[in-house]
Chain A
Amino acid sequence: GAVVSQHPSRVICKSGTSVKIECRSLDFQATTMFWYRQFPKQSLMLMATSNEGSKATYEQGVEKDKFLINHASLTLSTLTVTSAHPEDSSFYICSTSDPRRTDTQYFGPGTRLTVL
């Protein structure tokens, strides 16, 4: 099956700093990647859709200036949490779909962000 990697798997940072999370599609070229956020004991919530070569599409309530998404290549999308605060502490997971079967989503292993 498709493999999606994320880096780092875990990060702890101080309030006010920025954190970059990478999502890589290892098996195929991904023109679209999705970023989700999951708070403890809650469901996954779609944050934004990352499109290769164009601007990301953000869901309602997600600040585009705070969560910067870059999808500069067909295998890499990055999410940068700028000026992180404790309320940004969450599990961030990316996913992508195989262009040959666009509905099946393949999830990355997730990144646990803790902001002190």
Chain B
Amino acid sequence: GENVEQHPSTLSVQEGDSAVIKCTYSDSASNYFPWYKQELGKRPQLIIDIRSNVGEKKDQRIAVTLNKTAKHFSLHITETQPEDSAVYFCAASIKDSGYALNFGKGTSLLVTP
């Protein structure tokens, strides 16, 4: 089945710096790659997603890149703010599973003022 690896598990940056989280996946049939931000006790919130026909997507301070050949995708957050502190999950959907999601293990991001 699909396996999604996510690194790092924890990341601490100073306010204003950039944060990068990387994920790899194993199933070449995966074609949808969302990133979620989850605060304690809350549902995952979609922050950005990318589909396999696109290599890069940007939304203000957040960007995602996808390398289908290497089967990896990354989340980039620029000009980080303390409110960006949360757990971030990457995921890959698998068409044959009805677009269920396989999640990475998560990255706990801490932005210090």
- List the interface of chain A (C-beta within 8 A of B): 32, 34, 42-46, 49, 51, 60, 91, 93, 95, 97, 102-105, 107-110, 112
Query: Which 8 pairs between the two chains have the least Cβ-Cβ distance?
Result: A103-B32, A107-B43, A43-B103, A44-B103, A43-B105, A103-B99, A32-B98, A109-B43
Q: What B residues does A105 contact at CB under 8 A?
A: 34, 46, 93, 99, 101
User: How distant is B30 from chain A, measured CB to nearest CB, in Å?
Assistant: 10
Assess the B44–A107 pair: CB atoms within 8 A.
Answer: yes
Assess the B43–A34 pair: CB atoms within 8 A.
Answer: no
Question: Which chain B residue lies CB-closest to A1?
Answer: B46
Give the contacts of B80-101 with A (CB-CB under 8 A).
Answer: 89, 93, 97-101
Given contacts A93-B44, A104-B32, 18 further A-B contacts (CB under 8 A): A34-B98, A34-B100, A43-B89, A46-B101, A49-B97, A49-B100, A51-B98, A102-B99, A103-B51, A103-B99, A104-B34, A104-B46, A104-B49, A105-B46, A105-B99, A107-B43, A110-B42, A112-B41
Instruction: Point out the residue from A46, A60, A103, A109 that lies within 8 Å of B42, measured CB to CB.
Output: A109
Q: What A residues does B46 contact at CB under 8 A?
A: 104-105
Q: What B residues does A97 contact at CB under 8 A?
A: 99
A-B contact pairs, 5 of them (CB 8 A): A43-B103, A46-B102, A51-B98, A103-B31, A107-B44
User: How distant is A94 from chain B, measured CB to nearest CB, in Å?
Assistant: 10
Question: Which chain A residue lies CB-closest to B43?
Answer: A107
User: How distant is A12 from chain B, measured CB to nearest CB, in Å?
Assistant: 15
Question: How many angstroms between the C-alpha atoms of A49 and B51 in the bound complex?
Answer: 22
Question: How many angstroms between the C-alpha atoms of A102 and B51 in the bound complex?
Answer: 12
Question: Which chain B residue lies CB-closest to A35?
Answer: B100
Question: How many angstroms between the C-alpha atoms of A27 and B104 in the bound complex?
Answer: 28
Q: What B residues does A91 contact at CB under 8 A?
A: 41
Question: Which chain A residue lies CB-closest to B108?
Answer: A41
Question: How many angstroms between the C-alpha atoms of A61 and B15 in the bound complex?
Answer: 42
Among B43, B49, B51, B105, max chain A CB count under 10 A is at B43
User: How distant is B106 from chain A, measured CB to nearest CB, in Å?
Assistant: 5
Question: How many angstroms between the C-alpha atoms of A109 and B41 in the bound complex?
Answer: 9
Q: What A residues does B1 contact at CB under 8 A?
A: 60
